[in-house]
Amino acid sequence: ATGVAAQVTSAGAVFVGPWAPVSLGDYCAGSNHVLPTAGCARHSSGLSVQTFLRGIHVIDYSESALKDVAGHVITLANAEDLPAHGEAVRLRFEALR
């Protein structure tokens, strides 16, 4: 059963063997009691403190790092029909000339 459990890729929790009933997870084992249902484990995890927190992504690039990816950013921006996003990159380098 442990080998099969290791192959599971979408589940809120996996209870392995005859001594791990779901009620153990609900009340005692420390696993999350609020788990995704109806196939939602494909894209969601169980409810946790993280659900109620806000994350902030900090992006800090150097000139050379931005230059390395500028072409990719511009290409993707144009593919999404968002040319101003690409211009935001291009103009930074134009201003340096």
Query: What is the tens place of the pLDDT at every residue in 47-65?
Result: 777 778 887 778 888 899 9
Model confidence, pTM? 0.52
Cα(10)–Cα(38) distance, integer angstroms: 12
- What pLDDT, on the 0 to 100 scale, is given for residue 67? 92
DSSP assignments along 49-65, one per residue: GGGG----------HHH
Tally of structural domains, the chain? 2
**58 assigned to some structural domain:** no
Same-domain pairing of 79 and 48: no
**Reported confidence tier of residue 80, pLDDT bands at 50, 70, 90:** very high
Same-domain pairing of 6 and 45: yes
Same-domain pairing of 7 and 43: yes
**81 assigned to some structural domain:** yes
Same-domain pairing of 15 and 46: yes
Taken in order 69, 43, 4, 16, the sign of the CA dihedral is positive
Cα(56)–Cα(41) distance, integer angstroms: 24
Same-domain pairing of 69 and 29: no
Same-domain pairing of 35 and 5: yes
Find the domain containing 40 and state its range.
1-53
